Amino acid sequence: MIRSRSTRWGIVVSVVGLALATILVVKSESARGGAVRAECSGSPKDNGDPRAASGSRVTNPQVRVWSRTITLRMAECGASASIESGRPGDSVWIDRGADGSGVRDGSLGVATVSDTAQRTPFYRYAGAKLRACGKAGDRPEVRCTRWTAPGDPPPDRRQRALERLLDTYDHDTGLWEHDVATWQSANALTGVIDYMRQTGDRQYLTYVDETYRHGEVARLGLPKRTGYNDDELWWALAWIDAYGLTFEPRYLAAARAIVDGLGDQRAPFCDGGLAWAREGKDRFQVNAITNALYMTATAALSTWVDGADRAAYLARAQGTWVWFTERAGRALLDRSGLVNDHMDKYGDTCVLVDENMRWTYGQGAMIRGLVALHRATGAGELLTSAEAIAAAATRDGSPFIRDGILYEYAPAEKCPGPQCGDADTFKGVFVRYYRELVATRGARFTDEFLIRQANSLTGKADEYGFRWQGPLRADDQPDFATQAAALDALNAGQP
C-alpha cells in the first residue's frame, strides 16, 4: 500500500516537473524571438501560413526585386515572409523592428529557396513591428516591405501606388528603370518625398539617401550630365524638397551646385533667358520650362540660405520673372492665360514659332515658380498671376481638360505608347504644383479639382497608365513615369 502511494506521488511530481519545464522552454523561445508554433488569436494553423488564420488580413505588404515578389504574410499576432517566383539561391527573411524602425534582433528565420521552401516560419510581433525582406540569388539588392505592427490598417490606395513605383527603382543606377534622361527619376523621387512630407511616414528615406550616393550627385548634384538645363533643374528641386524634409545639408548643397552651375547658360540671342541645352541644336531654343524651373529653384533657395547668398538668389528669381513679363519671355505668356512652350533663335533674336505648342507641365512649373517667389517676397500679385494660369488650364474649353479630367492634348498621336516619352510625367507635375497654389491660397482656391483627378484614376493591381479616366486599355502599359504621375495625383488629391 505504501509502495503504491509512493509510485503515484512520483508520477505526479514528474508530470508537474515536465509542465514547468515546458513553460520555461516556451518562455525562453519567446524571449529569444524564435518561431512560435503555439496557438494564438489569429495565429497560423497551416504550417505557418497566415492565410489559414482567423483574423488574417486581405492586403499583405509586398515589394518586388528582380521579378520576385516578397510578401509579409500577416496574422493578428505575427507574420511569416514568403517569396514568389523565387529561384534556388534566393532568400527571404523576417526583421523585427526596434525604436526608430531599426532592426532589433537581426534576421529571423532566413529561408533559402529550394524546391520545397519559399517561406519562413511564423514569428510573433513580440511588442515590436515586423517586415519581410528578400534578395535574388547573389545580387546585392535587398528589398523590404514596410514595417507593420499589430492593428495596423491595410495600406491605402496611395501607399500601394507608392510601393508599386518603388518596385521599378533600379538599385544599380540610383534611378528608375530605363530613365536615360534622368529628369523623370527626379520627379519620381519628388513624389516619394511629397508622400513622406504629407503622411509623416519616413521609412522611405532610404531611397533619397541611395539616390544621392549614386553617380555624380555628391560632386555635381546630378546623377550625370545630359546636356539639358531643365533636366538639371528638376534635380535641384528634388534636392530642395529633400532638404525641406530632412534638413540634411548635403541635399541643399547639391541643389546649390546645380543652380550655381547654370550661370553661363543665358542665351545671348534671347535677352537673357536660359537656353534649353548646353550643346547641339537645342542650345538655340529658349523654353518656358527651363526658365520657370530656374525661377522656382532660385526663389526657394533664397528662403533656405543665409546672409548675402539669400539676396543673390532672390535677385535671380525676380530677374527671371522680369524676363517673362517685360523682356523676350513675354511671348511665352499667351493672351489666353496659358504658357507657351518655347522660342527659337532667329537671327539675333528669338521668335515664338508655334504658339499652339503647350504642355500641362509648363503650366504647372510656372505656377510653382510664382508660388515660390511669392513665399520669398510676400507679393500678392504673384499669386494672382499663378491663379490666372491655373484657371486657364482647368476651365471648360481648356485644351487640357476632357470631361473635367486632365488630358495631355499635344502628343495625342503618340500617347500612350513607347513614343510618348517625356509626356508620361507632365500631368503629375501640373497637379503637384496646383496643390502648392491651393496650399498657399487656402480657402480662396479650392482643392475640388485635385480630388476629382485622384478619384478619376483607374488601373490594375495598383498600377496606372497614361490615361487617368476610364479602365486601363491594352495600349496603355504603365511604366514608372506614369506611375509617378498617378502618385502625384493621389498626393495632390488628399483633402
Contacts of the segment 153-157: beta carbons below 8 A, 24+ positions apart: 154/57, 154/58, 154/59, 155/59, 155/61, 157/462, 157/490
pTM of structure: 0.81
Q: In this model, does residue 487 exceed pLDDT 70?
A: yes
- The architecture of the domain spanning 165-492 is Alpha/alpha barrel (1.50)
- Helical segments of 378-414, H only: 380-394
Q: Mean pLDDT for the chain?
A: 86
pLDDT level of residue 414 (50, 70, 90 thresholds): confident
Percent of the chain with pLDDT over 70: 85
Determine the pLDDT at residue 31.
40
Confidence of residue 334 (pLDDT cuts 50, 70, 90): very high
**What percentage of the chain exceeds 90 in pLDDT?**
60
Residue of 245 and 356 predicted with greater confidence:
245
b/e map of 472-495 (b: 16 or more CB within 10 Å)?
Answer: beeebebbbbbbbbbbbbbbbbee
Q: What are all long-range contacts of 117-120, with beta carbons under 8 Å and residues at least 24 apart?
A: 118/82, 118/83, 118/84, 118/86, 118/92, 119/48, 119/49, 119/73, 119/80, 119/81, 119/82, 119/83, 119/92, 120/35, 120/48, 120/80, 120/81, 120/82, 120/92, 120/93, 120/94
| Mean pLDDT, residues 225-238 taken together | 97
d(CA 104, CA 115): 31
Q: How confident is the model at residue 59 (pLDDT cuts 50, 70, 90)?
A: low
pLDDT for 153: 79
Q: Is the pLDDT of residue 7 over 80?
A: no
Mean pLDDT of 230-244: 98
Identify which has the larger pLDDT, 11 or 120.
Answer: 120
Predicted local confidence at residue 140, as pLDDT: 83
Q: How confident is the model at residue 428 (pLDDT cuts 50, 70, 90)?
A: very high
pLDDT band at 29 (very low <50, low <70, confident <90, very high): very low
The pLDDT of residue 301 is 98
Mean pLDDT of 329-358: 94
pLDDT in the model for residue 209 = 94
pLDDT at 16 over 60: no
- Categorize the per-residue pLDDT at 19 as very low, low, confident or very high, splitting at 50, 70 and 90: very low
What integer pLDDT is reported at residue 275 of this predicted model?
Answer: 97
Q: What is the mean pLDDT of residues 63-92?
A: 86
Mean pLDDT along residues 330-359 = 94
Q: Is the pLDDT of residue 42 over 70?
A: no
Residue 411's pLDDT is 62
Lowest mean pLDDT across 174-178, 251-255, 381-385, 443-447: 443-447
Instruction: Record the cell numbers describing residue 69, joined without a space.
Output: 515578389
36: confidence class by pLDDT, cuts 50, 70, 90 = very low
Which three cell numbers mark 73? 504574410
Given a cut of 60, whether residue 5 has pLDDT beyond it is no
Confidence tier at 418 by pLDDT (50, 70, 90)? confident
Q: How far is it, in rounded angstroms, from Cα 495 to Cα 334?
A: 31
Q: How far apart are CA 158 and CA 165, in angstroms?
A: 11
pLDDT in tens, 298-310: 999 999 999 889 9
- The predicted-structure confidence for 103-154, as pLDDT tens digits, reads as follows 888 788 888 887 556 889 999 988 888 999 999 888 888 888 888 888 887 7
How large is the average pLDDT for residues 386-393? 96
DSSP 8-state code for residue 221: S
pLDDT at 41 over 80: no
Look at residues 62, 104, 102 and name the one whose alpha carbon lies nearest to residue 79. 62
| Cα-trace Rg, the chain | 28
The predicted model gives 247-273 an average pLDDT of: 96
The residue ranges of every structural domain in the chain are: 50-152, 165-492
Cell of 36: 512560435
